[in-house]
Amino acid sequence: MPSSPEDTTESTESTDPLDSLVLHATDNGVSWITLNRPEAMNAVTWDQRERVIALLAEASADPAVRAVVLTATGRGFCAGADLRGAPATGDRVPGDVARTIRLGAQRLIAAVLDCEKPVIAAVNGTAAGIGAHLAFACDLVLAADSARFIEVFVRRGLVPDGGGAYLLPRLIGPQRAKELMFFGDSLAAREAERLGLVNRVVPDEELTATARAWAQRLADGPTRAIALTKQLVNASLDSDRATAFAAEAMAQEINMTTQDANEGVASFVERRTPKYRGV
């Protein structure tokens, strides 16, 4: 079970009860976002979702943050959406469901995909429904041996939402995606790794240390180059070759204006280890 790195992080005192449900700390350039409702397997509430979205936006805008880790406490990474905390809307009218999904689950997934810093999912336990999609939206996915992933929607007679039908075919192809979504079977971490949904599976007790090591490597890297690379890869899945090549050339043009790019070239010429500053 991962623990947040509070003993080595910068943090501020807060009386907001939401801060106890979404733990946040910054450690050596890494923003740690930790869902903390272990008694509910970290089923995410409306308030928690908004807090995570805000923290991801802050990470994008903060030059001191150069990587993000998204994780949770207890046995569950995120058991899906808990809509009991959503604002009351009165009687449902046509369009309410679609509007709720657009403004809710889809905004959460988009916040991860659009974050300008690399985001690592450290999946400590069950990731079901929107919880699985939250992990799959991250740039890198680490999973504990005990973790499992469940496309739970079909079990409830529902269509997958929160970007599932967009994310899974791009990660593992349409046939595998349909198998997971049609049957809703529990997928063990090792099988998820074999399919390509997970980068690395580690023993439970090594998850936090591995996430910290990966995040630190990212935080020590050329931040803008990594951000541009993330944008290129994500956009390429919806682009033709000409568009992708044009975007690649423009990204390199933009990147060459950064100090880190100049440092990288200079360190190569001078045969020394580069020291990137994230600018």
pLDDT (tens digit, 9 = 90+) per residue, 80-101? Answer: 998 665 555 567 788 888 998 9
Tokens of 38: 């272990």
d(CA 158, CA 123): 24
d(CA 106, CA 92): 20
* Residue 145 near residue 86, CB atoms below 8 Å: no
Residue 228 belongs to what H/E stretch? helix 223-236
Residue 250 belongs to what H/E stretch? helix 241-255
d(CA 60, CA 65): 8
How high is the pLDDT of residue 8?
Answer: 45
Residue 123 belongs to what H/E stretch? strand 119-123
How high is the pLDDT of residue 138?
Answer: 98
Listed in sequence order, the residues at least 6 apart from 210 whose beta carbon sits closer than 8 Å to its beta carbon are 122, 142, 200, 202
- Claim: this prediction has a pTM higher than 0.95: no
The DSSP letter of residue 45 is: P
Q: Is the pLDDT of residue 210 over 50?
A: yes
Q: Is the pLDDT of residue 4 over 80?
A: no
Polymer length of the chain: 279
Q: Is the pLDDT of residue 7 over 50?
A: no
pLDDT-derived band at 16, boundaries 50, 70, 90: low
pLDDT (tens digit, 9 = 90+) per residue, 54-70? Answer: 999 999 999 999 999 99
Residue 187 belongs to what H/E stretch? strand 186-188
pLDDT (tens digit, 9 = 90+) per residue, 164-198? Answer: 999 999 999 999 999 999 999 999 999 999 999 99
pLDDT (tens digit, 9 = 90+) per residue, 20-43? Answer: 999 999 999 999 999 999 999 999
Q: What percent of the chain has pLDDT over 70?
A: 91
What is the dihedral angle through the alpha carbons of 99, 101, 106, 107, rounded to the nearest 10 degrees?
A: 60
d(CA 36, CA 18): 10
Beta strands in 3-45 (DSSP E): 22-27, 30-35
What is the dihedral angle through the alpha carbons of 104, 136, 76, 202, rounded to the nearest 10 degrees?
A: -160
Burial 69-79 (b: 16+ CB within 10 A, else e): bbbbbbbbbbb
